A and B are shown apart, each in its own frame.
Chain A
Amino acid sequence: MLPLMVPAIITGLIWALPGDPASLICPPSRCSGTQALAERWNLDAGPFQFFVGWLRDALALNFGRSWSAFQGMDVGNLLAEAIPVSLMLVGLASLWIFTGVFGAATGWIHRRLDPLLQTSGMIPVLVLALVGAAIVDLTYGFGSSGQEGQMARIIIGSAVLGLADGAFAGAVAGTRGLFSSESRQRYVGVAILRGERELANTLPNVTPALVGQLRARLLHLLSGAVVVEVMLKINGIGDLLWAGTLEQDFGLVLGTATLFAVGSALLLVLQAMCEVAVALHVRRSPGVQAA
């Protein structure tokens, strides 16, 4: 439902705002009349027709054009350029999460480090992003918005996203908590007495909770990506959404916000699929080799 609700709410917003929506596309100081614009954009026949029209086009992957922020540019193209960037940013940042999960599950990250991780995790993403932005701007100067600068921004941004707001620390603590509580279960002790490995026994049972946690953390990264992209001027979806909102470019906001909604919906679906897969796996009650 989310992917449908979001554009519907935004459409409502367009009509809720004061003034003629078409004048957002071309203000009176530049345009001597906006009737033709209103007709072309379905803005002349009320919110429902506009919403239906937009949805029909969106299903055909036609997201229309930017109204003001990047006037005339195809929103589909903007999204196509932004998606890989955001994926790279969130992907690189999620490596920190996975490392945390893996390190905590296998015990590679020692418990003694937890206080340190907790404290470092308190640093908000905003602060790290500010520092990162200053470093990139002053290191790359004019080139900071070129390809090289963008790559530097993505790498620094992913580190910021992965470490700040307790993303990494949370992953470690959360995973450790799950495993330790599961390890206290009687069957685990019995299994260990039978010479079986602890992880092989606990993993199938904690996986659903672990996947749930992971989804929440990825969602957190996705949401945090907006801050990082905006502060570090990374050409991702979050930055597009920010620019669109800032300039009331609903042509752009509709596309990007819907994409965000689709992203979080997809994560839910993924989680469900993982849980089903684990359930099937457990039902097959895999044999465990005796030592």
Chain B
Amino acid sequence: MAWRRTILGLSGLAMGLLGTGATLNYFEEALPTTLNPLFAETMVDSRAQELVFDRLWYRDAITNELQSRVVKTHQVAEAGRAIKITLKEGITWHDGSSMTSKDLCFTVKSMLNRGTPSVVAAAYQEFVAGCETQGPSVALVRFRKVLPKPRERLGFHILPASQFSSTAISPDMEFSARPTGTGAYKGARTRREVIFDAQSNTHHSPSLMQLQLREGGDPLLQIRTLEGGEVQGIVVVPPGSRADLRASDEVTLKSYDLRSWWFIAVNTKNPALQDKRVRQALNLLIDRTELREYTIGVKPGDRNSPCEFISGPFVSVSPYYNRTIPTVPTANRAKADALLKAAGLTRIGGRWHLGEQPITLKIGMLANLNNEATDLLEQVGNQLGDAGFDRQTSKVSADEWSQEVVSGQSDFDLVIGKWSFGLVEAVGDLFHTNGRKNIFGYTDAGVDEFLNAYEDAVTDTEQKDAYHKLHARLADELPYLFLWKLDTKSAWRTEVRGNIITPYFYFTEIDSWKVVEN
């Protein structure tokens, strides 16, 4: 092994000396909160981690073929309740040590260890039972039940056993800032950027010597910096800036398949908002068409709008989306007023009151959403203000969002946010009474019943039916006012070639990325 490491080291050194690779600078929405895949919380985290680690199995971004860079062979065992995995030989961690079955089993055991407080791991704990090494490169992963297609379920990143003293992994370890993986790049978080240095390996041959991730900030500055050539890419381009870039010969806009939808979560614990008729009225008071025009720049009747209204917790192209539930594109003040009166609210001096008290809505919005939908918070406030509600609007910083809002500890009445999904669109965490991301601790027996039905479904049609019913229920109960899905586009300079963007994970095909002179 030593001679192989030496050769790899020398080849890495040679790459550096010959300067064959280039550096790629790009703007992200923010800096990643962690580089430890067990604690990914944002899309930025997931994209950055994809550069540093290998997932056990992944899908090819072009052909959608299920592939693995680390698995040599596999074999379903124990009548479908386990899978025997033989790892490729010669794969090394960024510290030079070899990746073995011990690392694979360590990763599985870490995810199963209750001392690892990871939400990501919790999802695997539901069907993974354990792991047993059978020699340096063979591991047997056991499941709690028979899995028809086990490879497709095992999409976790592999962690190095040598970097941890126990299988209880926590997010505050140095690993979160300077992780060791087997991916194409070794990542290191600094105060204002994340540097990814190419790592030569038997299963990766990156062309780019280094990637530099920095926080984007002001969209206008990002766009001009890109046009000026000081940076090669922007991962998320706000819709308002796309027309400029589309017309440029120096920059290419690329689609990034990410299923994201925007919402206004309603605090059902607020006495005024407990009554669903009030929530239904609020839903009718939001003029989405006007919101979309003023904040995203989509004019009514625009063909191929990047922004499409939704009536439930799925993007409208999803099979889980119940198309019989209509969206509410414009406001209906008369109907809303009738609902509010029916709910016992009174209008005094143009302001809505509950009993003697005027209703004041505290509205919050995840601050960085303002880059994609400028002044959305203010415009929502204006619409509700015009309708007769006093309001206090406040942006919510990313840390406050994690600390308070998502964990159901905020004192807002309405919260504007966005959720992103990949192929799997499970929304149990958002709406179930015990959901981990249930913003206002919303609870409804009917909703829980449909979510349980989804989990217990025998067939995928039953799952779809359960979610269609859930959609209908949520559109009636309205713990969220559903706004729209917004397409995501990236912009890369034309000298960046081979830049295949993998849906959701983004950088899976980073080896093929290179920078050439135009």
Chain A: residues with CB nearer than 8 A to chain B?
A: 19, 23-34, 36-37, 40-41, 65-68, 70-74, 78, 81, 137-138, 141-143, 145, 233, 235, 239-240, 243, 247-248, 251
Contacts and interface: CB of A to CB of B under 8 A. Distances in A.
Interface stretch (B201-209, B339-347, B367-375, B398-406): B398-406
A250 B435 CA distance: 29
A28 B177 contact: no
20 contacts: A19-B403, A19-B409, A30-B171, A30-B402, A31-B171, A32-B118, A33-B114, A34-B117, A36-B117, A37-B117, A71-B177, A72-B34, A72-B171, A72-B174, A72-B176, A73-B174, A81-B191, A145-B193, A233-B192, A247-B399
A71 B176 contact: yes
A158 to B, nearest CB: 19
Interface in B204-239: 214, 221, 224-225, 228, 230-231
A204 to B, nearest CB: 46
Interface of B: 25, 27, 33-34, 36, 39, 41, 114-115, 117-119, 122, 168, 170-178, 189, 191-193, 214, 221, 224-225, 228, 230-231, 399, 402-403, 406-407, 409, 436-437
B415 to A, nearest CB: 13
Counting from the closest, the 5 A-B pairs by CB-CB distance are A72-B176, A29-B406, A72-B177, A28-B407, A31-B117
A25 B175 CA distance: 14
B176 A31 contact: no
B191 A71 contact: no
A74 B191 CA distance: 12
B189 A27 contact: no
Contacts, number: 118
A78 B174 CA distance: 12
A40 B168 CA distance: 12
A31 B39 contact: yes
Contacts of B172: 25-26, 37, 40-41, 65, 67, 71-72, 251
Among B177, B191, B407, chain A packs the most CB atoms within 10 A around the CB of B191
Contacts of A36: 115, 117, 168, 170
B401 to A, nearest CB: 8
B178 A72 contact: yes
A248 B231 CA distance: 32
Contacts of B399: 68, 247-248
A30 B118 CA distance: 6
Given A27-B406, A28-B407, A72-B175, A235 B117 contact: no
A130 to B, nearest CB: 15
Contacts of B171: 25-26, 30-31, 71-72
B34 A70 contact: no
A219 to B, nearest CB: 25
Given A71-B33, A137-B221, A235-B192, A40 B174 contact: no
B34 A29 contact: no
A144 to B, nearest CB: 9
B231 A32 contact: no
Nearest to B228: A141
B221 to A, nearest CB: 7
Nearest to A150: B192
Contact of B191 (A26, A78, A141): A78
B132 to A, nearest CB: 25
B439 to A, nearest CB: 10
A96 B186 CA distance: 43
Contact of A32 (B122, B177, B221): B122
Given A71-B34, A71-B176, A26 B170 contact: yes
A141 B225 contact: yes
Contact of B177 (A70, A142, A235): A70
Nearest to A137: B221
A40 B214 CA distance: 32
Contacts of A19: 403, 409
Given A70-B191, A71-B33, A137-B221, A30 B41 contact: yes
A248 B174 CA distance: 19
Contacts of B406: 27-29
A105 to B, nearest CB: 40
A73 B41 contact: no
A145 B176 CA distance: 22
B170 A29 contact: no
B436 A32 contact: yes
Contacts of B407: 23, 27-29
B398 to A, nearest CB: 9
A142 B224 CA distance: 10
Given A31-B171, A235-B192, A24 B403 contact: yes
Contacts of B41: 29-30
